[in-house]
Amino acid sequence: MVRAACTIVSLNYLAYARTLCDSFLRFHPECKFYVLLVDRLPKDVDLSNEKFELVPVEELGIPNFQSIAFKYDILELNTNVKPTFLNALLARGIDQVVYLDPDIFVYRTLDSVFDALSDQSIVLSPHALSPNDDQSELIVLSCGVFNLGFVAVKKCAETDRFLSWWENRCLNLAFNEPRTGMFVDQKWINLAPCFFDSVKILKNPGCNMAYWNLHERQMSQDGGVWMVNQSNPLEFFHFSGVSVDGGEKISKFTDRFNLTNRPDLRSVFEDYRAQLINHGFRDSSTAKYAFGVFDNGQYISRLARSMYAANLERFGGENPFSSSSKFYVWAKKARLFSVRDSANSYTLKSYSKGDPRLRLLNGLLRAALRVMGADRYTVLLKYLSHISILRNQSDVLIS
């Protein structure tokens, strides 16, 4: 039985991959660990002495890869090549492979995972195993029932069928668009237990513990072993959204839990942050993303990617990263270029009702309601909701 584990990173997450690899190999020294690099390795960077085997993404042989690498941003591309990578590893003669997000740390042998693969083909992990408050459950409904920071498969006909289906969806239609029902590779997996047989839903609280299920899980130690709810050994913790310099904050995605109101987590967070630093976080975290710019160095905005994705028939057939391509010329004329994308850093908490810009905008909308009436005003808002999805900006920018 040949077993392996893997993860996927761009260069800025290299320290995470090293940390995860060490934690996995500590308990599985007989296994190999693979890292798919969704980036290009600079000539002055040598990874030949790493404990993992590096697989450059372009070696996967994905058809029209340049087009896919352009239409998807860094999060989308890293997640959406996952089924292709798993397929490639199984083709190497591996019988069972476990995918783990790079910000995961392994605390013991993954017994429950490999035990599940003994009689099942696909193993998935739910975000949570018990009800939470309604707002938290709405987030899970938006992002997906299962967390795809973890998935395990074994080589068999049913896995082949599953990965073929999943790969097709990921490479063609898996944007980070929760409002259109999509959330990269993850949302599609809601359908997997319906479409495929031999799917194990792993309800082990010691697996994939993370900020999204802290409402149901407490940590403690028993004889030097980390336990969850005093009943299950902790197999792996998912440090999603962690900051090395985060202080009491455990994740950029939540304010509900922190190290003050969850002191049971302090030790593991302090150790994990130290491990990241020891594995080169300070050097690797600032690495530039190779697929983040045109060949002349111009930053590719998310709006530009969305316009390309929505108009593949018009702009396909040539290298979209080229500054001499039809798309580059059109995007420059349409003023789609910027030096950064800051929209993701804004939430409803970022806005102040006293902001004069918001007061002006809200005033214009109130005026529109008075002029148009409730029915036509609602139609207007429906259209604005439609074009607020960046791929739908074609209706505005392309006549």
Give the up-direction half-sphere exposure of residue 91: CA atoms within 13 A in the CB hemisphere: 9
Identify whether the C-beta of residue 113 lies closer than 8 Å to the C-beta of residue 98: yes
Share of the chain above pLDDT 70, in %: 100
* Residue 373 reports pLDDT greater than 80: yes
- Domain boundary (236, 253, 283) is at 283
Same domain for 340 and 220 = no
Residue 372 to residue 365: CA distance in whole angstroms: 10
Residue 389 to residue 386: CA distance in whole angstroms: 6
At 227 the pLDDT is 97
Same domain for 228 and 138 = yes
Other Cβ atoms closer than 10 A to 90: 20
Identify whether the C-beta of residue 7 lies closer than 8 Å to the C-beta of residue 99: yes
* Residue 184 reports pLDDT greater than 80: yes
Model confidence at 382, in pLDDT bands (50, 70, 90)? very high
Same domain for 340 and 277 = no
* Residue 349 reports pLDDT greater than 80: no
Q: Domain residues for 302?
A: 293-399
The pLDDT tens digits of the residues spanning 52-72 come to 999 999 999 999 999 999 999
Burial class (CB in 10 A: 0-12, 13-18, 19+), 303: buried
Identify whether the C-beta of residue 124 lies closer than 8 Å to the C-beta of residue 189: yes
The pLDDT tens digits of the residues spanning 5-52 come to 999 999 999 999 999 999 999 999 999 999 999 999 998 888 989 999
Q: What is the largest CA-CA distance in the chain?
A: 72
* Residue 135 reports pLDDT greater than 80: no
At 134 the pLDDT is 76
Other Cβ atoms closer than 10 A to 193: 15
The pLDDT tens digits of the residues spanning 290-314 come to 999 999 999 999 999 999 999 999 9
Same domain for 341 and 238 = no
Same domain for 332 and 191 = no
* Residue 139 reports pLDDT greater than 90: no
How much is the mean pLDDT over the chain? 95
Residue 199 to residue 138: CA distance in whole angstroms: 24
Same domain for 316 and 264 = no
Model confidence at 344, in pLDDT bands (50, 70, 90)? confident
Query: How many residues are recorded in the chain?
Result: 399
Written as six digits, the tokens of 35 are 């890292």
Identify whether the C-beta of residue 110 lies closer than 8 Å to the C-beta of residue 123: no
For 144: left if phi > 0, alpha if psi spans -120 to 50, otherwise beta; the answer is left
Same domain for 233 and 122 = yes
Section 375-389 average pLDDT: 95
At 317 the pLDDT is 86
Model confidence at 218, in pLDDT bands (50, 70, 90)? very high
Model confidence at 217, in pLDDT bands (50, 70, 90)? very high
Using only C-alpha atoms, the chain has a radius of gyration, in whole angstroms, of 23
Same domain for 155 and 126 = yes
* Residue 350 reports pLDDT greater than 80: no
At 84 the pLDDT is 98
**Nearest in space to 151 (alpha carbons), one of 128, 174, 125:** 125
The pLDDT tens digits of the residues spanning 235-278 come to 999 999 999 998 999 999 999 999 999 999 999 999 999 999 99
Structural domains counted in the chain: 2
At 345 the pLDDT is 79
**Nearest in space to 267 (alpha carbons), one of 211, 223, 219:** 219
At 354 the pLDDT is 81
Residue 253 to residue 72: CA distance in whole angstroms: 22
**Residue 277 vs residues 13, 52, 244, 270: alpha-carbon distances, Å:** 12, 18, 8, 11
- Domain boundary (283, 307, 324) is at 283
* Residue 150 reports pLDDT greater than 80: yes
90 inside domain:
yes
Burial class (CB in 10 A: 0-12, 13-18, 19+), 114: middle
**Nearest in space to 65 (alpha carbons), one of 88, 83, 81, 41:** 81
